Structure 1
Amino acid sequence: MFSGVVRATDQKLGKLAAIKIIRNNESMKKAGLKEVDILQKLANADPDDKKHLVRLERIFEHKGHLCMVFENLSINLREVLKKFGRDVGINLKAVRAYAQQMFLGLSLLRKCNVLHADLKPDNVLVNEARNVLKICDLGSASDASENEITPYLVSRFYRAPEIILGIPYDFGIDVWSIGCTLFELFTGKILFTGRSNNQMLRAIMECRGKFSHKVLRKAEFGRQHFDDLLNFRSIEKDKLTGKDLVRVLNFTKPSRDLRSRLMTNAKDMDDVELKELSSFIDLLDRCLNLNPEKRCTPVEALKHPFITRVKI
């Protein structure tokens, strides 16, 4: 929507680069320059390039287009899944390596007070050998102090519930998105697939249980999705008429909980692998806490037994 990316050869240096060409209009250019500022801030805070955020090498202008020159990388994680794990996911060892690198990226973002606000498999690139990843596309990123309440921040399937509900948010939105991404890498399936914000909440509660009344009372958009008694108003399409119907649902307990959905991949695992899977489930449980204040931080995730391989 906002830009195109081409692979090109740097004639002076004789190496490949990726050039992001921003659309030629004033608001897009302004957004592009904001992204440049954020990328430079992140690079300055990571001089040794150890935190897995894509490196911006330089910028130039061409026929009114802002052009951003990046290091050359290979495919994104969505394409990795298509090629090597379609509908079944990739192995837990690869998921662990990717998880550690993504949480290192999040730890740098947090240190620099930056929200990525669009993390998903499409915005994580790997190198040719597929053993190193870089978080990319900071076009939606902002300083954490600029977090205005809007129900459509972040791509829908990776959107944290506090965004949908209109609750003040912070770094926890990126941890939620990474939790959804890690589930998808391991299973090959998208965790939450609502066709609207309302149906996203339904999918989230089917998996993670009810929101506390305390959380819902803070929600600016709560009345769009819950009645006066805080029961959920599920807005569904009537299959015959195509019109919206409202069903009041009361979630007593999750019907499609995280553990049972992840254990379907456990058929041929030995005891050691099952322990590692349990540890992975525990990490995702912490990343996907409905209460953003209780969600794990990137530093806590990096110390989790699944990443460090400490036996629980």
Structure 2
Amino acid sequence: MLDQSLWDFMMNREKAYTLNEIRPITQQLLVAFKALKSIGVIHSDLKHDNIMLVNHQNQPFRIKLIDFGQAIPSSEVEIGTKKQLLPYRAPEVNLGLPISEAIDMWSLGCIIAEMYLAATLFPESSKYFIMKVICRMIGQPGDHLLNAGKFSSKYFIRERKNSPEWRFKTPEEYKEGTGVESDISECALEQYSSLDEAIKDYTEEKGRVELNDRMAFVQLLKRLLDLDANSRITPEQALTHSFVTMGHLEEDLDCSPYVTDAFRWMAICRLDHSDASDVPVNNYETDSSGGEKDMEISS
């Protein structure tokens, strides 16, 4: 009934998504998660295969979030409940902290970073190695989180007995404490010390406007990948972020093809999806009088 998944789409064309393509996808997912949060439901299984293009030829990047088989009311989630695929799993799940709708926002950050980098942000291996990469690229969870985490001692150890400070365990210490050999596999981004460094290295410089957009993207990523679920950006807050609203691009609207394309791609987000199954939007724009006029989307 739907076109194809985002994963299939990327594999078929064999190249990463641009920021102008990621933006409308992000906006629509945020709308979905805002609705889920309003009724206290966690999707808990966000991945490329569960984000479907509806009809890409007629409605470019109009999407639907599918597969609610793992969804659960946030009021029913218990600490220690295993949710999400490992590469998209929020740190509070592995640390044994309270779980909320915020885990979906972490997954969203992983997904859109992977779309832009064409590489998995966190490796599909052991929980130990994923935590290692998180600590390297984002930072170690705060001591207040580790103090409260039911499973923190699996991955971290106190610097000294009765010390309030924690450090990440060595592979030997992890095996000694859990009996599990740490699975150290290849990770495309492990050599980078931060998200900023990875995205700078994985992209080609295209001028000031694109650089500003990339910086807005990184700022949103950092808010989505906040290690503390209590301060992680919410769907409602993210919908007002400059990367989504394009407020930082407006002054260049009349002089930058990049910005013109950005606003064109976002036309799908202005469509009423409740009755839009057959409405083509690849020539859609609102003019200054409030009506609609044709607009061709370049690709």
Normalised TM-score (structure 1): 0.69
1:78 corresponding residue in structure 2: 7
* Higher mean C-alpha deviation, range 272-281 or range 120-129: 120-129
C-alpha RMSD of matched pairs (Å): 2.3
Question: Any idea what the Cα deviations from partners look like across 1:126-145, whole Å, max 9, x if unmatched?
Answer: 11214210110000001110
Contact 2:126/2:182 (<8 A) preserved? no
Partner amino acid for 1:135?
L
1:128 corresponding residue in structure 2: 55
Report how far residue 269 of structure 1 moved.
Answer: 1.0
1:95 corresponding residue in structure 2: 22
2:33 to 106, 109, 125: 106
Contact 2:126/2:183 (<8 A) preserved? no
Structure 1 counterpart SS, 2:128: helix
Report how far residue 227 of structure 1 moved.
Answer: 1.5
1:294 corresponding residue in structure 2: 231
Structure 2 counterpart SS, 1:231: strand
Alpha-carbon distance between aligned partners in 2 of 1:268 and 1:159, rounded to the nearest angstrom: 31
Alpha-carbon distance between aligned partners in 2 of 1:225 and 1:204, rounded to the nearest angstrom: 12
2:296 corresponding residue in structure 1: none
Gaps of at least 5 residues in structure 2 are 160-165, 185-190, 250-299
Contact 1:235/1:246 (<8 A) preserved? no
Partner amino acid for 2:4?
I
Alpha-carbon distance between aligned partners in 1 of 2:87 and 2:203, rounded to the nearest angstrom: 25
Partner amino acid for 1:175?
M
Size of the aligned set, in residue pairs, is 229
Alpha-carbon distance between aligned partners in 1 of 2:73 and 2:217, rounded to the nearest angstrom: 30
Question: Any idea what the Cα deviations from partners look like across 1:216-251, whole Å, max 9, x if unmatched?
Answer: 00100011111232221143799xxxx83799xxxx
Gaps of at least 5 residues in structure 1 are 1-71, 248-253
Alpha-carbon distance between aligned partners in 2 of 1:246 and 1:235, rounded to the nearest angstrom: 9
Alpha-carbon distance between aligned partners in 2 of 1:118 and 1:161, rounded to the nearest angstrom: 15
1:276 corresponding residue in structure 2: 213
Partner amino acid for 1:127?
V
1:16 corresponding residue in structure 2: none
Alpha-carbon distance between aligned partners in 1 of 2:89 and 2:193, rounded to the nearest angstrom: 19
Check if 1:266 corresponds to 2:203. Answer: yes
* Higher mean C-alpha deviation, range 168-177 or range 259-268: 259-268
Alpha-carbon distance between aligned partners in 1 of 2:75 and 2:82, rounded to the nearest angstrom: 18
2:118 corresponding residue in structure 1: 188
1:1-312 counterparts in 2 under 5 A? 72-84=1-13, 86=14, 88-129=15-56, 130-150=60-80, 152-229=82-159, 230-235=166-171, 244=181, 255-311=192-248
Alpha-carbon distance between aligned partners in 1 of 2:183 and 2:157, rounded to the nearest angstrom: 11
Partner amino acid for 1:128?
N
Structure 2 counterpart SS, 1:178: helix
Question: Any idea what the Cα deviations from partners look like across 1:164-223, whole Å, max 9, x if unmatched?
Answer: 000011111000000000001111111000511111111111110111111100100011
Alpha-carbon distance between aligned partners in 1 of 2:182 and 2:114, rounded to the nearest angstrom: 30
1:56 corresponding residue in structure 2: none
Contact 2:125/2:183 (<8 A) preserved? no
Alpha-carbon distance between aligned partners in 2 of 1:263 and 1:182, rounded to the nearest angstrom: 15
Partner amino acid for 2:21?
A
Contact 2:129/2:182 (<8 A) preserved? no
Report how far residue 151 of structure 1 moved.
Answer: 5.6
Structure whose residues are more often strand by fraction: 1
Contact 2:192/2:198 (<8 A) preserved? no
Normalised TM-score (structure 2): 0.72
